[in-house]
Amino acid sequence: MFIPKENRIAVFSYLFQEGVCVVKKDPKPATHPHIEGPTNLEVLMLMKSLQSKGYVRITFSWQYNYCYLTDEGIEYLRGYLALPAEIVPATHKAANKRPEGRDREEDKFADGGRPAFRDNRGGGIGRGGGI
């Protein structure tokens, strides 16, 4: 299947940027929902081609192909797109340990541990005990 170069570059750029690509097994849609330009069939065929070369690992579930970029695929796309070695896909970036502005669980309690266990069997409204 002939795929125009600008569509191939758009798919490869998206795959390298995100590290993963989800493709529905449906050749009918005119465009891919996440990538501007190529059809869903073109994206599906490019992912199958990359899988046969060992650059992508595909998991199929519920009519969707989940395509994960391998280490060899990262090197191939880095060469194809002429990217420097410092740029890595989003799936290979280190995540923050803790979002800013959130307190740690230990900081909420005076003794640094968990809150004391409360036994709710002894009564109260709706627990079967009397008031």
The one-digit pLDDT tens for each residue of the chain (131 residues) are: 798 999 999 999 999 888 898 888 877 778 887 888 888 889 899 999 999 999 999 999 898 889 999 999 999 989 998 888 888 787 777 776 666 665 555 555 555 566 665 666 665 555 555 55
**CATH topology classification for 5-82:** Arc Repressor Mutant, subunit A (1.10.10)
Alpha carbon 21 to its chain's center? 8
Domain boundaries, given as residue ranges, for the chain: 5-82
Q: Please, how many CA atoms are within 13 Å of residue 91, restricted to the half-sphere of its CB?
A: 14
CA distance 10 to 43: 10
